[in-house]
């Protein structure tokens, strides 16, 4: 009795963003039949590499979650694997998990290193006690707990991947002041003095989007050890704001001219929005370990934290978004 072996069908939810830009073409190259669910509001940052072989399905997840139909929509596609890159509430995660449980081989969820809250011991391991703060970190920690509890209690084949500050060509990376103001990069490009909060010793931990995709692929390839586990997706080592500023300035051919102000004074020198974003980043000051991904999945990031950030900076320069 002969069986026709069909390609593994992989549904990627939110597959046209940072991670999907690198993940989807790799899945195609590895022989997956890929279906991407997205709102259809943007195209991948790089459209080469197998996108013409991908089935695109336009969907408004928020509306379908509210109607209770999203999980069924995914299950009806009869996937072997579901990769969820845009889930932000426990209810949303539950709807999907209940719909696909018993029908898929692997459910991979994109979390965040924000599930940890402030770093205590560094590098922070995946099994460190959770102390999240802020709506985003708290919600993502609740999703992780739900999925991994289900995995351990009743066999939901779930894996959670926690990226750091995702960087790469096509968008603005978190800058050395811990916010998204491209003017910070311009100051360093021109050799001007840059003000940093405190002593510039808080940390940020970038990761190239290609390396985040790499952790997802490594988890897929090592399903037996990945199910029921969470893994960080960060560059090896975090950067201090000061060290990051020095690295960017050197890339532009300058020595960094840095000055420092206590937080309360520094916060008055930038917009309210930038101050809030910086505060969020430096209160976390993440420095997460990649040891578990190396040990269990055989994965090591290709890009350093500075290289990941500079991939974004380089794109900004090439596209005239940073005046040098």
If DSSP states are collapsed to H, E and C, what string results for 262-275? CHHHHHHHCCHHHH
* 292 belongs to a structural domain: no
CA distance 168 to 256: 23
Structure token pair of residue 71: 């999980």
pLDDT value of residue 2: 39
Together in a domain, 54 and 194: no
The DSSP code sequence of 219-284 is HHHTHHHHTT-EEEE--SS-EEHHHHHHHHHHHTTS--EEEEE-HHHHGGGS-HHHHHHHHHHHHH
Together in a domain, 116 and 146: yes
Token pair 């066999």: residue = 155
Together in a domain, 245 and 274: yes
* 270 belongs to a structural domain: yes
* Number of domains into which the chain is organized: 2
pTM of the model: 0.96
* 186 belongs to a structural domain: yes
CA distance 79 to 93: 17
Q: What is the CATH number of the domain that holds 71?
A: 3.40.50.720
pLDDT value of residue 173: 98
Q: How far from chain centre, in Å, is Cα 211?
A: 9
Together in a domain, 126 and 191: no
pLDDT value of residue 1: 40
* 4 belongs to a structural domain: no
Structure token pair of residue 210: 């290609």
pLDDT value of residue 45: 78
Q: How far from chain centre, in Å, is Cα 66?
A: 25
Together in a domain, 256 and 313: yes
Together in a domain, 80 and 150: yes
Together in a domain, 159 and 192: no
CA distances 232 to 159, 163, 262, Å, are 11, 6, 32
Together in a domain, 189 and 213: no
The DSSP code sequence of 1-22 is -----PPPEEEEETTTSHHHHH
CA distance 310 to 175: 10
CA distance 124 to 237: 11
pLDDT value of residue 162: 98
Together in a domain, 210 and 256: no
The alpha-helical segments, DSSP class H, found in the chain are 18-29, 61-67, 70-76, 90-100, 134-154, 182-189, 209-221, 223-226, 241-251, 263-266, 272-284, 291-297, 305-318
Q: What is the CATH number of the domain that holds 177?
A: 3.90.25
Together in a domain, 99 and 35: yes
Say if CB 48 and CB 26 are below 8 A apart.
no
* 297 belongs to a structural domain: no
Q: Which of 102, 126, 21, 149 is nearest to 12 (CA)?
A: 21
Structural domain boundaries enclosing 200: 168-205+237-286+303-318
H or E segment and range at residue 106 = strand 106-110
Say if CB 177 and CB 183 are below 8 A apart.
no
* 264 belongs to a structural domain: yes
Q: How far from chain centre, in Å, is Cα 79?
A: 23
* 311 belongs to a structural domain: yes
Please say which residue of 233, 249, 271 terminates a domain. 233
CA distance 182 to 127: 35
Together in a domain, 217 and 309: no
Kindly give the confidence (pLDDT) of every residue in the chain, 324 residues in length, as a single tens digit, with 9 standing for 90 and above. Answer: 434 467 899 999 999 999 999 999 999 999 999 999 999 877 887 777 789 999 999 999 999 999 999 999 999 999 999 999 999 999 999 999 999 999 999 999 999 999 999 988 999 999 999 999 999 999 999 999 999 999 999 999 999 999 999 999 999 999 999 999 999 999 999 999 999 999 999 999 999 999 999 999 999 999 999 999 999 999 999 999 999 999 999 999 999 999 999 999 999 999 999 999 999 999 999 999 999 999 999 999 999 999 999 999 999 999 999 988
Together in a domain, 192 and 111: no
Q: Is the C-alpha dihedral spanning 302, 307, 313, 314 positive or negative? A: negative
Cα angle 139-304-210, degrees, rounded to a multiple of 5: 60
* 145 belongs to a structural domain: yes
């Amino acid at each position: 009795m002969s069986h026709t072996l069909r390609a593994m069908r992989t549904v990627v939810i939110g597959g046209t963003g940072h991670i999907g830009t690198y993940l989807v073409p790799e899945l195609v190259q590895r022989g997956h039949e890929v279906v991407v669910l997205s709102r259809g509001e943007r195209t991948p940052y790089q459209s080469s590499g197998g996108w013409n072989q991908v089935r695109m399905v336009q969907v408004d997840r928020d509306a379908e979650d509210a109607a209770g139909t999203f999980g069924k929509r995914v299950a009806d596609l009869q996937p072997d694997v579901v990769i969820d890159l845009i889930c932000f509430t426990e209810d949303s995660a539950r709807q999907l998990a209940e719909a696909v449980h018993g029908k898929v081989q692997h459910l991979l969820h994109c979390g965040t290193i924000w599930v940890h809250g402030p770093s205590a011991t560094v590098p922070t391991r995946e099994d460190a006690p959770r102390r999240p703060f802020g709506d985003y970190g708290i919600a993502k920690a609740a999703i992780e707990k739900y999925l991994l509890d289900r995995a351990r209690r009743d066999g939901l084949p779930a894996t959670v991947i926690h990226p750091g500050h995702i960087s790469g060509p096509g968008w603005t990376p978190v800058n050395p002041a811990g916010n998204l103001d491209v003017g910070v990069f311009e100051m360093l490009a021109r050799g001007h003095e840059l003000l940093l909060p405190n002593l510039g010793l808080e940390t940020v931990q970038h990761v190239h989007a290609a390396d985040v995709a790499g952790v997802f692929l490594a988890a897929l390839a090592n399903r037996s050890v990945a199910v029921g586990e969470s893994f960080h997706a960060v560059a090896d080592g975090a950067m201090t704001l000061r060290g990051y500023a020095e690295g960017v300035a050197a890339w532009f051919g300058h020595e960094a001219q840095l000055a420092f102000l206590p937080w309360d004074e520094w916060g008055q020198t930038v917009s309210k929005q930038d101050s809030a974003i910086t505060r969020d980043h430096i209160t976390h000051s993440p420095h997460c370990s990649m040891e578990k991904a190396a040990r269990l999945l055989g994965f090591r990031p290709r890009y350093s934290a500075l290289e990941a950030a500079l991939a974004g900076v380089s794109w900004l320069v090439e596209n005239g978004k940073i005046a040098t």
